[in-house]
């Protein structure tokens, strides 16, 4: 009997990027447990990954290439060899390119694995040679990062672990205890020491349960509240004038701009009492060690990037960047990109093998449904990996309609027969994290993780890196950049920046050369051309960013004419502790322990519609309709309803659909994100 124990890192799209120890016996995975030496996760894995062995060895896992035999969406396939599957892919992609041009081919991917080489790897170079279209933006991260960058020149924020020094922690639109669980002990310890914890969220989450104060604005109104906070900071002179004079541009213009944006102006927009807004602003101005922590929740509105822009301004105005425990903490993954890890090194090979790669037609990632259904010059072939867009993208009914097109050839690389894979013409079996090499950057802490395979891939499954090597060979591309081994790709990304031997030996390495108590902007040093924080959009004005941050009402927001027909704001939160986005919700050991899809309403909204707990209701708008059981809750304010997200189509009953059928795929104000948080619905009895 041969036992192998290796160090690895969770690959999921989560800020925690936990370290693990994986064990196999005679080539079979037998254990995945937390690595107690990991400085952030400290030996704890979440309820999802605790059952990772069952996922890897699950009887429903895809282990052979499949070719469709029945109607699209039927899930009817036959097994095939890799040679047969690759031959069909090459033939169809070549046909599409010859008939419609290379830009009729679209690669689409998400963050099913966050690895430096397994996320996208050499795929950019491969598809550049095919002359395909490409994607830009992201359903998560892009809009908030650009919002911060308009002020700081980059998406670089405070290390959230410095919350241990905070006297006030504002968790804005983040359910930390559920979606960033390994940060919570640091916040909880600060709270026990006396720090005040404030949660700002339209839903009373499990994090709000533990807060000292919960402020419950209407969805999508955060910009109005932030403008009012800045109004109070300036009007009450709760400012660090010395810091502003030395390190900021545009203060006088900003002050004039917000002069009429009082708490009394914001209160009816936000549904929050003006006194509450005023008190919050004064506490921010009077407590130097105030940390504002935002993740991605608020960016899912048209105004999302502006919320991050304004949040980034507050520590500049108050000078809290000079204080341990102060500042604005979003993603710290950007620190790895500055000096320590070349996260774009492998994907950047596209410009080497195809110098004109940047000239191709490009589509916004969250709007896949519109891309597949509304183009005059349509996409005729799509290659999908690292994602399940039928469930995870907004306006997913349009994604489903697009993938039903008979003139669209679809390839999906997957581990299970997901709702998206059911619409594929060819399905390719994908390896699991415990079966492949990778280096794993984190966006919630400053440790780069190593992942050593504990076993070979089961069956005919392959890693993403091997997938793209095989595709390159099948298309006849001999460029050496397309055939780099996994270790060659890892070295390209990290060897000039971190000690690769130490990374493999220990399983993690702190990527930032900065000291643990680093104050990134204590002495200014912003990465704008001027080196100053831009309170006006000097550097980003050419990208469509308004000179000064504005409150802009939207079609599916407060006061919209659509509210006459669809008067309720829809929230689609992550509530399940055993799902991660749409992963695991198809597995019984996870799904069976969670509630089934339902619609939650406040008592007043339910009574107005003649609804009681356990009734059946229709939740609908102009995009879609779902029929769901009713739950009455005190966690929502009147005017807001909730349908939890992450469930597979079959969980909703006989009618094909999911929560994202209802949501809005409109662009954000800038930053190429997604406005799915701006969704209005009506609810009525069935």
List pLDDT tens digits, range 281-307.
999 999 999 999 998 888 999 999 999
Gap between the Cα atoms of 645 and 655, Å rounded? 17
Q: Is the pLDDT of residue 12 over 70?
A: yes
Question: Could you identify the residue written with the tokens 């702190």?
Answer: 510
- Rounded (10°) CA dihedral 243, 248, 254, 256: 60
Q: Is the pLDDT of residue 558 over 90?
A: no
Q: What is the 3-state secondary structure (H, E, C) of 152-173?
A: HCCCCCCCHHHHHHCCEEEEEC
pLDDT on residue 656: 83
**What is the second-level CATH architecture of the domain 158-330?**
3-Layer(aba) Sandwich (3.40)
Question: Could you identify the residue written with the tokens 């599957």?
Answer: 85
Q: Is the pLDDT of residue 514 over 70?
A: no
pLDDT over 90 for what percent of the chain? 84
Quick one: fold of 561-685?
Answer: Barwin-like endoglucanases (2.40.40)
DSSP at 509: E
Determine the average pLDDT of the residues in 310-324.
98
What separation in angstroms does the CA of 645 have from each of 30, 619, 657?
Answer: 31, 14, 12
pLDDT on residue 359: 82
List pLDDT tens digits, range 192-217.
999 999 999 999 999 999 999 999 99
Largest CA distance in the chain: 75
638: how many CB neighbours lie within 10 A of its CB?
A: 13
Q: Is the pLDDT of residue 316 over 60?
A: yes
Determine the 3-state secondary structure of 513 from DSSP.
coil
List pLDDT tens digits, range 358-416.
789 999 999 999 999 999 999 999 999 999 999 999 999 999 999 999 999 999 999 99
pLDDT over 70 for what percent of the chain? 99
List pLDDT tens digits, range 388-404.
999 999 999 999 999 99
pLDDT on residue 513: 67
Mean pLDDT (the chain) is 94
**What is the second-level CATH architecture of the domain 66-139+346-446+457-484?**
3-Layer(aba) Sandwich (3.40)
Burial track 516-552 (b if 16+ CB lie within 10 A, e otherwise):
eeebbbbeeebbbeeebbbbbbbbbeeeebbebbebe
pLDDT on residue 128: 96
What is the band of 342 on the pLDDT scale with cuts at 50, 70, 90? confident
Question: Could you identify the residue written with the tokens 């799509």?
Answer: 382
What is the band of 52 on the pLDDT scale with cuts at 50, 70, 90? very high
Gap between the Cα atoms of 220 and 270, Å rounded? 8
Cα-to-chain-centroid distance, residue 358: 24
pLDDT on residue 336: 62
Cα-to-chain-centroid distance, residue 161: 20
Type and span of the H or E element at 298: none
Whether the CB-CB separation of 365 and 135 falls below 8 Å is answered with yes
Give me the residue spans of the domains in the chain. 66-139+346-446+457-484, 158-330, 561-685
List pLDDT tens digits, range 413-445.
999 999 999 999 999 999 999 999 999 999 999
Q: Report which of residues 317 and 496 the model is more confident about.
A: 317
DSSP class per residue in 315-336:
HHHH-GGGSTT-EEES--HHHI
Determine the average pLDDT of the residues in 563-573.
96
pLDDT on residue 333: 74
Determine the average pLDDT of the residues in 675-680.
96
Q: Could you give phi then psi for residue 492, rounded to 5 degrees?
A: -60, -35
Cα angle 140-160-532, degrees, rounded to a multiple of 5: 80
pLDDT on residue 27: 96
Q: Is the pLDDT of residue 338 over 60?
A: no
Q: Could you give phi then psi for residue 87, rounded to 5 degrees?
A: -60, -40
Whether the CB-CB separation of 532 and 358 falls below 8 Å is answered with no
């Amino acid at each position: 009997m041969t036992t192998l124990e290796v160090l690895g890192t969770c690959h999921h799209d989560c800020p925690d990027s936990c370290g693990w120890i994986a064990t196999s016996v005679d080539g079979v995975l037998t254990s995945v447990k937390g690595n107690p030496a990991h400085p952030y996760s400290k030996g704890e894995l979440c309820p999802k990954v605790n059952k990772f062995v069952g996922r890897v060895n699950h009887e429903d896992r895809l282990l052979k290439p499949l070719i469709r035999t029945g109607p699209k969406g039927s899930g009817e396939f036959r097994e095939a060899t890799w040679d047969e599957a690759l031959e069909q892919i090459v033939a169809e992609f070549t046909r599409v390119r010859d008939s419609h041009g290379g830009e009729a081919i679209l690669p689409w991917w998400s963050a099913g694995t966050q690895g430096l080489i397994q996320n996208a790897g050499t795929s950019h170079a491969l598809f550049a040679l095919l002359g395909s279209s490409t994607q830009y933006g992201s359903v998560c991260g892009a809009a908030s990062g650009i919002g911060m960058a308009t002020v700081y020149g980059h998406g670089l924020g405070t290390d959230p672990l410095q919350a241990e020094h905070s006297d006030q922690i504002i968790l804005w639109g983040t359910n930390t205890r559920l979606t960033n669980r390994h940060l919570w002990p640091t916040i909880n310890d600060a709270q026990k020491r006396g720090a005040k914890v404030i949660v700002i969220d339209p839903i009373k989450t499990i994090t709000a349960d533990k807060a000292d104060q919960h402020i419950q604005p209407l969805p999508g109104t955060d910009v109005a509240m932030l403008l009012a906070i800045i109004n109070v900071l300036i009007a009450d002179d709760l400012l660090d004038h010395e810091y502003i004079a030395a390190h900021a541009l545009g203060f006088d213009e900003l002050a004039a701009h917000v002069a009429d944006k009082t708490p009394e102006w914001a209160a009816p927009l936000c549904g929050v009492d003006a006194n509450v807004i005023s008190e919050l602003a004064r506490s921010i101005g009077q407590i130097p060690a105030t940390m504002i922590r935002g993740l991605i929740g608020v960016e899912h509105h048209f105004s999302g990037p502006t919320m991050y822009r304004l949040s980034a301004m507050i520590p500049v105005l108050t000078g809290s960047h000079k204080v341990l425990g102060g500042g604005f903490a979003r993603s710290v993954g950007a620190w790895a990109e500055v000096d320590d890890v070349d996260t774009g090194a492998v994907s950047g090979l596209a410009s080497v093998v195809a110098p004109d790669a940047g000239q191709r037609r490009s589509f916004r990632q969250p709007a896949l449904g519109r891309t597949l259904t509304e183009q005059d010059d349509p996409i005729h072939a799509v290659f999908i990996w690292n994602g399940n867009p039928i469930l995870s993208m907004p306006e997913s009914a349009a994604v489903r309609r697009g993938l039903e097109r008979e003139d669209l050839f679809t390839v999906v690389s997957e581990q299970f027969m997901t709702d998206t894979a059911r619409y594929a013409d060819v399905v390719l079996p994908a390896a699991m994290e415990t079966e492949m090499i990778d280096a794993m950057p984190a966006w919630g802490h400053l440790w780069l993780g190593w992942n050593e395979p504990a076993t070979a891939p089961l069956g005919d499954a392959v890693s993403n890196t091997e997938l793209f090597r095989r595709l390159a060979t099948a298309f006849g591309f001999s460029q050496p950049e397309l055939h780099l081994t996994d270790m060659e790709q890892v070295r390209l990304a990290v060897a000039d920046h971190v000690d690769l031997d130490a990374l493999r030996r220990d399983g993690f390495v702190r990527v930032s050369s900065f000291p643990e108590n680093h104050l990134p902007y204590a002495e200014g040093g912003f990465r704008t051309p001027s080196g100053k924080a831009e309170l006006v959009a000097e550097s980003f004005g050419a990208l469509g960013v308004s000179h000064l941050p504005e409150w802009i009402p939207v079609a599916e927001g407060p006061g919209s004419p659509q509210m006459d027909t669809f008067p309720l704001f829809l929230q689609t939160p992550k509530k399940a502790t055993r799902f991660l986005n749409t992963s695991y919700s198809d597995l019984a050991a996870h799904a069976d322990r969670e509630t089934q899809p339902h619609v939650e309403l406040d008592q007043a909204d339910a009574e107005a519609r003649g609804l009681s707990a356990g009734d059946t209701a229709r939740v609908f708008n102009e995009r879609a309709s779902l029929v769901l059981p009713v739950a009455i809750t005190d966690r929502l304010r009147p005017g807001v309803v909730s349908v939890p997200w992450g469930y597979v189509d079959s969980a909703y009953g006989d009618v094909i659909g999911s929560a994202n059928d209802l949501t809005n795929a409109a662009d954000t104000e800038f930053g190429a994100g997604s406005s799915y948080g701006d969704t209005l619905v009506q609810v009525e009895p069935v």
